[in-house]
Structure 1
Amino acid sequence: MDRQTNMPLSQVLAEIVDPGLAMLPMSMDTPRARLMLLAIGRQESRFRYRRQTGNGPARGFWQFEQGGGVKGVMTHSATRGHAHRVCAERGVMWGRPNVWAALESDDLLAVCFARLLLFSDPKPLPAVGDYDAAWTLYADRTWRPGKPHRETWNGYYDEARAALGI
C-alpha cells in the first residue's frame, strides 16, 4: 500500500483490522476493541497518513512514537510476549527502532500494536456509546496526544460505530 491513502473504514476492517486481530488471542477481538481501533485510527491519521505530517516522530495509521507507544507495548508485562511473537511473524527484528520503522509500512503490525496498547490499560474497554470514557482511554491513558482534538472525536467515533453496525 502507498504511504498516503484515503481508506474507507470498510477497507480498513477487511484489509487491516480483521487479519491483524487474527494474529492476537481471540479474546482481544471484541466489538469494543474494534470500535476503539477505528475511532483512534481516524483521530490519529484519518487512515490517510502512515508517517506523521511534517515528518514528525509518529509512524503507522495509529501514529506510534518510538519512545511512547512502541516502548510501552514492547515493555509492558501484559503485552511484551504478544508483541514479540507478532514481530517474529511479521519478520521484524525485535528492537524499538526496528518496530518503529516497520510500523510505517506494515499495517498488520500497526493494528496489533494499537490493540496491544489498548490491552495494556488496566481498565475495561468503554461501553459502546460512551464517548467520554472512550476519549479518556485514548487521550489520557493510552495515546496521550500532544495536541488532542476533542472536537473531532465524537464524529470519528460515530463513523466507526456505523462501519461496525453497533
Structure 2
Amino acid sequence: MIETIRASAIAQALKLLPAKMTSPEAEVLLLAIGLQESRLTHRRQIGGPARGLWQFERNGGVRGVLEHKATRGYAVSVCKMRGVEPLADAVYAALEHDDVLAAAFARLLLWTDPKALPAAGEIGAAWDYYLRTWRPGKPHRHTWDGLYAQVMDAVLEAA
C-alpha cells in the first residue's frame, strides 16, 4: 500500500510541483502523515469533515494552501493541471477522489513551514513538523513511531 501510494499519488504530484519540492525527506514525511491521518485508506474522515488521504478540511488545510503566499501560485497551477477550480469548495470536493491533487496539497502544506524538512529517520522532528503544519485536533503520538517505522522500512526496501 505504501509503495502504491508513493508511485501513484506522491510521485505524480511531485511532477506537478517545482523540483525543489522533491526530496526523500518530503516523501517520507508525506507517507508518514498519510498513514497517521488516514492509514492511506480512508479518503473521507470517519466521523469528521476532512477529505483525501491526507485529511484536509475545507477551511483548514485547503484554504491555507490556496491562500498562503508561499503556495498560492503553485496551488492554482496544480488545480489547473488537475482540472479543478482553485476554490476551497472545489478543491475540497475533489480531494476525496483525486489522490494526486491530495498529495500535491499535502506537499504544499509542508512547504508553508519555513523550517527545513526533518531528515529521514528523525521521528521526533517529523512529529513536530506534522503538528505544526497539520495542527491535528486530536493528535495520536502513540501511533506515530510505529507508522513512521513502516514508512522507513518501505522506503529502504524500495531503495
Shared fold per TM-score greater than 0.5? yes
Give, as a single letter, the amino acid of the residue that structure 2 aligns with 1:47. Answer: L
The answer to whether the aligner puts 1:31 opposite 2:33 as a matched pair is no
Confirm or deny: 8 A CA contact 2:75 2:86 kept in the other structure.
Answer: no
- In structure 1, the residue matched to 2:93 is 101
Give the alignment partner of residue 47 of structure 1, picking from 10, 20, 40: 40
In the TM superposition, residue 102 of structure 1 has moved relative to its aligned partner by: 0.5
Instruction: Choose from 97, 109, 114 the match for 1:117.
Output: 109
The runs of 5 or more residues in structure 2 that have no matched partner are: none
1:84 is aligned to 2:84: no
Q: Take 2:120 and 2:42, find their aligned partners in 1: how far apart are those partners?
A: 26
Amino acid at match of 2:150: E
Query: How many Å separate the matches in 1 of 2:15 and 2:101?
Result: 12
Q: Identity over the aligned pairs, expressed in percent? A: 55
2:52 matched residue in structure 1 = 60
Shift of 1:90: 0.5
State the alpha-carbon separation in 1 of the partners of residues 26 and 37 from structure 2: 16
Tell me which moved more, 79-88 or 11-20: 11-20
Gaps of 5+ in 1: 1-7
**Where does residue 158 of structure 1 map in the other structure?**
149
For 2:6, the equivalent position in structure 1 comes to: 13
Cα deviation for residue 40 of structure 1 reads: 0.1
Deviation at residue 154 of structure 1 after TM alignment: 0.7
Distance 1:137 1:107 in 2: 22
**TM-score of the two chains, using structure 1 as the length reference:** 0.92
Deviates more, 1:124-133 or 1:103-112: 124-133
Q: CA deviation at 1:158?
A: 1.0
